[in-house]
Structure 1
Amino acid sequence: MEWTIGWWQISVQRVYPTKAQLSQTYNQAASWWHQHLQLLGYSYAYRELWRSLKNADMLPHSQDKLTICDCGIGTAAFSLAFAQMINPQTHIAGVDISPQMLNKADQKLALAKVPHQVYQSDVNTLPFADCAFDAVICAHTLEHLPNPLQGLREIVRVLRPGAPLILVVTQSGLLGWLIQWHWGNQCFNQEQLSTLIHKAGLTQLQFIPFPFGLARFTSIACISFKRS
């Protein structure tokens, strides 16, 4: 944005946290993050989201050995909800830039006896081979990337043909702006997210509403699939 006032030109440009800053921010939040999500109703909302997808028969739940990548796993709230509602024997590969978040995720998944392994990495450079996963799940991570399309294309790379991406992002609006002000992320509306997803090469996009609660007003959830 630019304004001209008399002989002065004033500009404002959006900046994003560096990887080191983002890691430090979430390291500091790791000790209370999981309880925070539970108190705000996100853990319940995540379970209901998985219930909706299961009832719609849109997930690869019939295989004995599913392998799923959770990009931006945090303290594993999204993965734990998946394990509870879909398949507790799914192997979770959890990726996060914050080592403290990964420590918490490792503890939570181990306590729940969910097969898993955690990796400290940036979503833009996932440490996995092409077509490695039966699904990728990603909650409130894409909005932290300066170039979200790059991150989506990297996610598509590690998906098997025909496999789904289940994505949750911060929604544009007043509450989204308040979250953005504190955490330095960006927000999306459905049109913006749809454009990004199609550019990344994903198809069959469907948006899934959250149940009544805070997540319904702060977040957008959707599922899309890698071309076969």
Structure 2
Amino acid sequence: MEWTIGWWQISVQRVYPSNAQLSQTYNQAASWWHQHLQLLGYSHAYRELWRSLKNSNILPQNQDKVSICDCGIGTAAFSLAFAQIINPNAHITGVDISSEMLNKAHQKLSQVNVAHRICQSDLNALPFADHTFDAVICAHTLEHLPNPEQGLREIVRVLRPGAPLILVVTQSGLLGWLIQSYWGNRCFNQEELSKLIHEVGLTQLQFVPFTLGLARFTSIACIGFKR
């Protein structure tokens, strides 16, 4: 945004946290993050989202030991809900920029015997070969990227052809802006997210509403498939 006042031109440009700043912020939050999600109802909302996807038969069927990448795994709340509702035999690869979040994710997944590995990495440069995963799941991570299209293209790269991305982002609105003011993330509306997903080549896009808790007012969930 730019304004001209007399002989002065004033501009305002959005600045996102650096990787180091983001890592430090979430390292500090790791000790209380999982309980925070439970208290605010996100863990339950995640389970209901997976149940809705399961009941609608959107997800690929007849797969047992699928390979799942959770981008921005945090303390593994989204992965735990997936394992509980969809497939307890899945192998989860958890990626996060925060080492402390990864430690918590490892603890939580180990406690319920979910096969997994953890990987500290920037989402913009995933350390995996092309066409590695049967699905990618990603909750409240894309909005932290200065260039979300770049991050999405990297996700698409590691998906196998025909495989789904299940994506959750912070929704534009008053509550979204309050979250944004604290964490420094962006927010999306459905139109913006739809355009972005189509630009990176995902097809069969479907939005799946949250029906419970705070997530109903703060989050958008969708699923798209790699060509």
TM-score (norm 2): 0.98
1-structure distance, mates of 2:10, 2:126: 39
Report how far residue 12 of structure 1 moved. Answer: 1.0
Q: Is the 8 A contact 1:50 1:86 kept in 2?
A: yes
Give the structure 1 partner of residue 76 of structure 2.
Answer: 76
- Residue segments in structure 1 that go unaligned for 5+ positions in a row: none
Matched AA of 1:12 = V
TM-aligned CA distance change 1:61 to 1:77, over 3 Å: farther
1:25-71 deviation per Cα after TM superposition (whole angstroms, max 9, x unaligned)? 00000000000000000000000000000001122352221000000
CA RMSD of aligned residues (A): 0.8
Q: Counterparts of 1:1-228 in structure 2 under 5 Å?
A: 1-227=1-227
Report how far residue 207 of structure 1 moved. Answer: 0.3
- Count of matched residue positions in the alignment of Structure 1 and Structure 2: 227
Give percent identity, aligned residues only.
82
2-structure distance, mates of 1:67, 1:60: 13
TM-score (norm 1): 0.98
Matched AA of 2:53 = L
2-structure distance, mates of 1:126, 1:30: 22
Matched AA of 2:39 = L
Report how far residue 8 of structure 1 moved. Answer: 2.7
Q: Is the 8 A contact 2:65 2:89 kept in 1?
A: yes
Q: Is the 8 A contact 1:61 1:86 kept in 2?
A: no
Q: 3-state DSSP class of the match of 1:196?
A: helix
Q: 3-state DSSP class of the match of 2:92?
A: strand
Q: Is the 8 A contact 2:64 2:87 kept in 1?
A: no
Q: Is the 8 A contact 2:131 2:157 kept in 1?
A: yes
2-structure distance, mates of 1:26, 1:147: 19
2-structure distance, mates of 1:136, 1:111: 22
